[in-house]
């Protein structure tokens, strides 16, 4: 990759790579991780290290990934030459998956050999929904970190709507932990998401409409695009071996390479879809303000 990298806590010296300047601007509100400080080609000694401070054993990685790390210049596994500014944008709930989002930004940037091509939505103004929609358009793949209330976040819904409207491929990751979904993101739930939001958070619906989001069309496309997309489980366990995390990252890299446009998942017309989703009704059984169970009964 070449170039000089400044310490993130210092002001940019002016002599570093332009990509790094962009990273500093996007992350000035939070400290960068150790991996992000050393996002350069590893030397021979670093490749042979062992111990808990080393996330990857290069002998365990696929040859094409090793090439992207150890050879001059990044190898773009999303396609070459680059067709868009970002290889991937990460869509996540800031409170439910902050750690996982930062982890993936760091590690996917490392594996791609170019950290500047991984965008994390929370590094931008989450109230500027138009900017977030544009960032999705500038990404080759949208990675969705599935947590319990992600689909209640206006910025996440706008990002998904932008992906559906612009036919941006999706990769879905199930975050394992306290915020894990206790229900399945199945056809019934996604097809009736507008009903769920109307009962739980109607203000989100009004906000989406004010930004030109067609809620019904979003439900239509999501109910096929996500249901037919392989979901990869990600569980961060800092006190255990990194083997499981490594395997998940390799699965994610492969999924990014093979991701298909949402339009490839649509096999029925919207009229047929309306008839199909009308066979089920959503009942929200809320025990308290923080717990909601989604129950289905036949219409």
Predicted confidence band of residue 245 (pLDDT cuts 50, 70, 90)? confident
With the CA atoms of 56, 23, 115 and 139 taken in that order, what torsion angle do they form, in degrees rounded to the nearest 10? 140
In this structure, what token pair is assigned to residue 259? Answer: 């991701």
The pLDDT of residue 272 is 92
Residue 254 domain flag: yes
Q: What is the DSSP letter of 269?
A: -
Q: Considering only CA atoms, which of 136, 145, 86, 141 is closest in space to residue 114? A: 86
**Does the structure show a pLDDT above 80 at 76?**
no
pLDDT at 79 over 80: no
CB–CB of 86/135 below 8 Å? Answer: yes
pLDDT band at 230 (very low <50, low <70, confident <90, very high): confident
Q: Does the predicted TM-score (pTM) go above 0.75?
A: no
**How many structural domains does the chain have?**
1
CA-based nearest residue to 75, from 23, 112, 38: 112
pLDDT tens by residue, 15-49: 444 444 454 445 444 434 434 333 323 333 333 33
- Identify the weakest region by mean pLDDT among 123-137, 259-273, 284-298: 284-298
Q: What is the pLDDT of residue 281?
A: 56
The residue-averaged pLDDT of 50-79 equals 39
| Weakest-pLDDT range from 148-162, 169-183, 273-287 | 273-287
Rounded CA-CA distance 276/36 in Å is: 47
Summarised one tens digit per residue, pLDDT across range 184-227 is 788 889 999 999 999 988 999 999 999 999 999 999 999 999 98
Look at residue 150 in the predicted model and tell me its pLDDT: 94
Comparing 66 with 272, which gets the higher pLDDT?
Answer: 272
CATH code at 246?
Answer: 3.40.50.10140
In this prediction, residues 121-126 reach a mean pLDDT of 96
pLDDT at residue 124 greater than cutoff 80: yes
Q: Which residue has the higher pLDDT, 132 or 294?
A: 132
Provide the pLDDT confidence category of residue 228 given band limits of 50, 70 and 90: confident
Look at residue 132 and tell me whether its pLDDT is greater than 50.
yes
The whole-number pLDDT of residue 50 equals 34
Mean pLDDT of 123-135: 95
- Residue 290 falls inside a structural domain: yes
23 inside domain: no
Residue whose token pair is 């709507």: 161
Mean pLDDT of the region 158-178 = 95
Domain of residue 215, residue span:
52-298
Is residue 71, in this structure, part of any structural domain at all?
Answer: yes
The reply to whether 230 falls in a domain is yes
Is 9 a domain residue? no
* Count of other CB atoms within 10 angstroms of residue 275: 11
Residue 127 lies in a domain: yes
Confirm whether 30 is domain-assigned.
Answer: no
């Amino acid at each position: 990759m070449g170039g000089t990298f400044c310490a993130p806590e210092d002001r940019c010296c002016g002599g570093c790579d332009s990509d790094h300047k962009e990273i500093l601007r996007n992350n000035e509100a939070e400290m960068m991780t150790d991996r992000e400080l050393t996002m350069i080609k590893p030397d021979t000694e670093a490749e042979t290290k062992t111990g808990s401070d080393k996330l990857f054993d290069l002998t365990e990685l696929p040859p094409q990934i090793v090439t992207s790390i150890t050879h001059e210049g990044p190898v773009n596994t999303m396609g070459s030459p680059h067709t868009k500014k970002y290889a991937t944008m990460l869509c996540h709930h800031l409170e439910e998956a902050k750690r996982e989002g930062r982890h993936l930004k760091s590690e996917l940037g490392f594996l791609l050999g170019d950290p500047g091509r991984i965008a994390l939505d929370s590094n931008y103004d989450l109230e500027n929904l138009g900017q977030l929609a544009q960032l999705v358009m500038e990404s080759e793949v949208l990675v969705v970190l599935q947590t319990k209330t992600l689909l209640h976040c206006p910025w996440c819904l706008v990002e998904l709507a932008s992906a559906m409207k612009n036919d941006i491929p999706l990769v879905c990751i199930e975050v394992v932990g306290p915020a894990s979904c206790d229900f399945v993101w199945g056809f019934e739930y996604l097809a009736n998401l507008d009903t769920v939001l109307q009962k739980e958070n109607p203000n989100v619906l009004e906000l989406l409409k004010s930004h030109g989001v067609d809620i019904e069309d979003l439900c239509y496309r999501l109910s096929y695009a996500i249901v037919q997309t392989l979901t990869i489980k990600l569980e961060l366990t800092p006190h255990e071996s990194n083997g499981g995390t490594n395997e998940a990252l390799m699965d994610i890299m492969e999924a990014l390479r093979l991701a298909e446009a949402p339009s490839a998942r649509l096999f029925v017309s919207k009229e047929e879809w309306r008839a199909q989703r009308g066979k089920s009704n959503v009942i929200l059984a809320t025990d308290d303000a923080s717990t909601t169970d989604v129950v289905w009964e036949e219409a």
